[in-house]
Amino acid sequence: METVFAAAGGMEGMRRLAEAWHRRVLADEIVAHAFSHGFHPEHTERLAAYWAEALGGPAAYSDRYGDETSVVRMHSGNGEHAEMDRRAIDCFDLALGDVGIPCDGTLGRALHNYFAWATTVSMAQYHRSAEDVPDGMRILRWGWEGLSG
């Protein structure tokens, strides 16, 4: 069966989606706050590699940049931010449309569900301190039916 990664256009599809989402969040008055202290110059490339790996593609993120621990630590220790999370998900859904993926189709639903889970569960569980994030976490895989290991 084709992976979500492949159905979304492979690495090029992930790059396009990461670029579209990044444009959307920088234009959002609430979500842009997360980037107000700057961001890595290769943010969209790294994000695309992370999403690619999580959605069934190659281990590009783990091979080049780090593991799940490093990603979760970047997103931890900032307190709870449910409104920002909700708006980031809204930006993602709009970015899907920007790259031609209908939100109400099978692929759009799988991508939305992944991003919503990653935003509200995976990246949100250590809101008190980044030091609480355990070492050695691996990037979990997401398939058509959800979390797959």
Write down all domains in the chain, each with its CATH number in brackets: 4-147 (1.10.490.10)
Q: What is the pLDDT of residue 9?
A: 97
Helix (H, G, I), strand (E, B) or coil at 82: helix
For 38, the token pair is 């700057």
Q: How confident is the model over 108-143, as pLDDT tens digits? A: 999 999 989 888 766 556 555 556 556 666 778 999
CA separation for the pair 85, 119 (Å, rounded): 6
Instruction: Indicate the range of 50-54, 70-74, 113-117 predicted with least confidence.
Output: 70-74
Helix (H, G, I), strand (E, B) or coil at 41: coil
CA separation for the pair 63, 66 (Å, rounded): 7
